[in-house]
Amino acid sequence: MVIVNTFFIKRSNGLFHYGMDYAEALGSQVREVWARTDATAEAASRRLPGRRVVRVSPLQLPWRLRAAARNGELVFTPSSHPLGLGARTVVVVHDCFPFQGKVGRIKKHLVRAGLRDPRISAAYVNRAEALAFLEDLGALAERMHYLPNKVGQLAAPRRQPRMVGPAPRIGLFGSDSEKKNYASLFAAASRAHLGISPVWTIYGHKNAYTQSLQAHFGGCRIEVVDSDRCGIDEFVESLDLAVSPAIGEGFARPVALALQHGVPTFLLDCPVFREFYAGSAQLFGDIEELIGAIAALTPDTTLAPSRLASEQDLSAAFADGVAWLSSL
């Protein structure tokens, strides 16, 4: 049996839903889900109706891990926290952002030490950065596997070409950290002479980060759409354009979904985005270049719909990842 351990994930963000995707695919093999907060426990119950979801405190986690070890269960931890305490464990590296700076270097040493345990395997969601990071830590090839994000098949048809309009909704995905790089985006937008009046719409949660952005960039119309109340498909369908100024993403699942829905998408050119979205989204060398492309838009500009060129490859790799987890 499998235990899905989301203890280290405090919000129902992309990392959390990545774990839920694999939990759904594993189906009856999942005995229970561990959640740290009321919000993630409720979100897990919504994603996995009928599945046992348990609130786990920091004091309870060690004995639950030891119980899993005694029972021979697999603990699937969809974050980079190799704490197994004897249990067979799979941890997942998404990106290198958590390992930057002084605290990040300490985390990196802890991950390296944890991966020395032969009962702990490591998965990576991209080859451009996450795999290279694990190889640099000395992770063994036989204890690593590719577990990409899920890319499902859309029932809805892709959109038709549409005009930008005077106040297009430009979607931004995530609100959990400064790695999103929104301050640089809004600073560049404030300096530019835009021919449109965009509504910058952040999909995530209202928090100190989004409030500081709204306070510092009053000239930009910035809205936050609560991801716990609005489904990602509904949000994506409302957009005229999707943008990501981030350079530290592991995949950016909402970007893939936007492309599937046909939403024109502007990204910064970085190794991960090139791995998954070259030939699908428009890639720009820096933020000034990206904002320049937005500044060139007029209300009458017609943007062609997009497509996700890597859809079939990602779907096959996800199925392979589920089979690998099932075999452990």
Q: What are the tens digits of pLDDT across the range 251-310? A: 998 999 999 999 999 999 999 999 999 999 999 999 999 999 999 999 999 998 998 999
How would you label 207-244 residue by residue, b for 16+ Cβ within 10 Å and e otherwise? Answer: eebbeebbeebeebebebbebeeeebeebbeebbbbbb
84-105 average pLDDT score = 92
Q: Which fold has domain 162-309?
A: Rossmann fold (3.40.50)
- pLDDT tier for residue 138 given thresholds of 50, 70 and 90: very high
Q: What pLDDT, on the 0 to 100 scale, is given for residue 155?
A: 58
314 has a pLDDT exceeding 90:
yes
CATH number, span 2-150+314-327: 3.40.50.2000
The DSSP H or E segment spanning 211 is helix 208-216
Residue 100 confidence (pLDDT)? 87
- pTM, to two decimals: 0.88
Closest by Cα among 203, 197, 196 to 220: 197
Distance, in Å, from the CA atom of 181 to the CA atom of 169, rounded to the nearest integer, reads 19
Position 145 confidence tier, pLDDT thresholds 50, 70, 90:
very high
219-263 tens-digit pLDDT: 999 999 998 889 888 999 999 999 999 988 899 989 999 999 999
Nearest to 215 by CA among 179, 186, 195: 186
pLDDT, average across residues 100-109? 90
Q: Which residue spans of the chain are classified as CATH 3.40.50.2000?
A: 2-150+314-327, 162-309
In this prediction, residues 42-48 reach a mean pLDDT of: 95
139-164 average pLDDT score: 85
Residue 13's pLDDT band, with cuts at 50, 70 and 90, is confident
In the predicted structure, residue 157 carries a pLDDT above the cut 80? no
Q: Give, for 107, the enclosing helix (H) or strand (E).
A: helix 101-114
Q: 56 vs 32, 34, 53, 131, 304, CA distance in Å?
A: 12, 6, 9, 30, 47
Q: Which residue has the higher pLDDT, 253 or 147?
A: 147
